[in-house]
Amino acid sequence: MASLMRQSCLSAFRTPLATRNVAGVSRVVAFHASARRQILPPEPQTIQGTMNDPAPIPPPHPSHGSYHWTFERLVCVGLVPITIAPFAAGTLNPTMDAVLCSLLILHSHVGFQASIIDYFPARRVPKTATFLNWLLRGFTLTTAIGLYEFETNDVGLTEAIKRIWKA
Give the residue from 75, 123, 64 showing the smallest Cα distance to 99. 75
Nearest to 114 by CA among 78, 63, 40: 63
Q: Is 148 annotated as a binding residue?
A: no
**Fold topology of 67-166:** 3 helical TM bundles of succinate and fumarate reductases (1.20.1300)
Q: Which helix (H) or strand (E) holds 27?
A: strand 26-28
| Whether the Cβ atoms of residue 103 and residue 75 lie closer than 8 Å to each other | yes
pLDDT category at 8 given cuts 50, 70, 90 is very low
CA R_g for the chain: 26
What pLDDT shows up at residue 91?
67
pTM of the predicted protein model: 0.65
Q: What ranges do the domains of the chain cover? A: 67-166
Asked whether the predicted pLDDT for residue 62 surpasses 90, the reply is no
Question: Tell me: the pLDDT tens digits for 107-123?
Answer: 999 999 999 999 998 88
* Average of per-residue pLDDT across 101-112: 95
| Residues shown for the chain | 167
Highest mean pLDDT among 13-22, 57-66, 83-92: 83-92
Residue 107 labeled ligand binder: yes
Residue 58 pLDDT exceeds 50:
yes
